[in-house]
Each structure stands twice: as structure tokens, then as C-alpha cells.
Amino acid sequence: MPELPEVESARVVIARSALNRRITDVDDSDTWECRPHAPGEIREALLGRKLTEVHRRGKSMWCETSGLNRSGTSGPLLGIHLGMSGRILVISEDGEDEGGDWVGFVGRASNAADPKWYRFTLTFDDGGQLRLFDKRRLGRVRLDPDIDALGPDAEEVSLADFRERVGRGTSPVKARLMDQSVLAGVGNLLADEVLWQAEVSPRVESGQLTDAELIRLHHELGKAIRSAIENGGSHTGEIIPYRRADAHCPRCGAEMRQGKVGGRTTWWCSREQQ
């Protein structure tokens, strides 16, 4: 599932290859991906505009758009959520990759995936396109998305804010880390990686964390996010290959344990994360 690192990679693709190109067509015909908008509503709002800036908070991403007329009226925000398996692809008119994000695909854009998996497409005046590839159809595209309910971005949260938001309450710390209203961007894999790196049990009550544990968690969170962005996603974490039956902790050799925490499948070291 895309977590903060994957969405940051998508943001970089848009920033690198899709900004300041005039939009001449929009395919918003997927009524599930583009809900609650009716087909043609997003198209009408975006035709003639350009994507001017792209932003991210946690797993949420949105683009600012240019004015459509001489008065310079600012355009709507275009929100893009990748869901469980979505990704952003930017291709040229002849099908060449412009965004540098064909990881997992082979060949030209025409051979990269079944067209039915492109759920939303912007076409630019030079013939290039921005496409939302979403095989599982769990992403979302909408105008003027509401991001007010999100907590601070997990990559940017200060230690003081992290302490205040995470180190309170009776919920397990893993559930607290994954609560997007507390902290935006942490998913299941990233949470397991951070807790393992910090040697903190995923089941301990958030309000019972010591100051030293909160400091370690904040430090390891930043380090894990940076590493995941550099290496291609949350699945590249050090503990991720050991989230399986009969695996042992690569640090101390103890058996890895599995259970449900906050309703999510969770793995931890039986010795270091008691």
C-alpha cells in the first residue's frame, strides 16, 4: 500500500514532469475513482489550466492549478489519493517515460499496463499525459480536497509536536502512529519498521511511553522515511523481509512474533520488543 514515501515519489514525478503544461483534455469518466464528481465535472474545471505546484501531507497529495482567464482567477485544487496500489505516470506523446517512475514496468507506455487500469488522465497541449494507474481501483481524484482533518506530516513533525500527539492516550502505540489525524503518512509497514528500529513494543499504551522511547521513535521515524524515499518505498525497510512465519530478528536472532494491533497484522521481535 502506498505510504508517505510512495506518495512523495509520486509528488516528485509530478513536480519534475507535469507542471506548467496546459491541459487540453481530461478523462474523468471513472465514476468510482472520481466520486462524488459526475463525469465531465473535473474536466470542465481543469481544461485550459496548468498544474502549477504539487503538495503532499502524509499520504494525501494535491496540485494547485493556474487561472483560466485574463483576470488570473486561481484554479481549483486537484486532489489525488493513490489508495492501495495507485501510482502516477507521466508519458510523452510517443509513449516514452517522462517521470522516471516505470519501476515494475517494462518497455514503453503502450506495453506497460492494460489501459483499463488508467483511471484518470490529463492530456497536455504537447501530447504528453499524466495518468493515474490504479489496478485495484481504490484511489481517489477530486476537486478541492479537505485536508483539515489530517495531522502534521510524519516527515516534518517536530519532536515537541510528536511527543504531544503520540505520547498520550490508551491506544497501542502502533495504532497511534497510524492514526492519520494524529500523524499523517504512517502505514502498516512503516509503523512496524519504526517500532522495530526503536525497540518499542507495538502493543504498549501510547500514554505509557517514556520520554526516551518517544525521542527514539521520533528519530527512527525520520530515518525510516528518508531511507524509504531513497530506496523506493516502505517495503524496503530492514525488518520487512522478516515479517513472515519462522523468521528471526536480524539484529538479535530471536523469533519474530505476529499478531493484530489496531486491527492490522503486526510483526515484532519477541526479545527486544516485549
Would the pTM count as exceeding 0.85?
yes
Mean pLDDT value across the chain: 90
**Alpha-carbon span 178 to 243, nearest angstrom:** 18
Lowest average pLDDT, out of 135-149, 187-201, 258-272, goes to: 135-149
Query: Cα-flanking dihedrals φ and ψ of residue 115, to 5°?
Result: -55, -25
Q: Mean pLDDT over residues 124-129, rounded?
A: 94
More confident residue, 74 or 45: 45
Residue whose cell numbers read 481517489? 140
Q: Mean pLDDT over residues 105-132, rounded?
A: 76
Query: Cα-flanking dihedrals φ and ψ of residue 224, to 5°?
Result: -65, -40
What confidence category does residue 126 fall into, taking pLDDT thresholds of 50, 70 and 90?
very high
The domains located in the chain, with CATH, are: 4-143 (3.20.190.10), 159-269 (1.10.8.50)
Q: What is the pLDDT of residue 117?
A: 82
Q: Which of 221, 219, 211 is nearest to 177 (CA)?
A: 221
**Alpha-carbon span 177 to 264, nearest angstrom:** 12
Q: What is the pLDDT of residue 58?
A: 94
Q: What is the pLDDT of residue 102?
A: 47
The alpha carbon of residue 162 and the mean position of all alpha carbons in its chain are separated, in whole angstroms, by 20
| 248, β-bridge pairs | 255
Burial class (CB in 10 A: 0-12, 13-18, 19+), 177: buried
What confidence category does residue 149 fall into, taking pLDDT thresholds of 50, 70 and 90?
very high
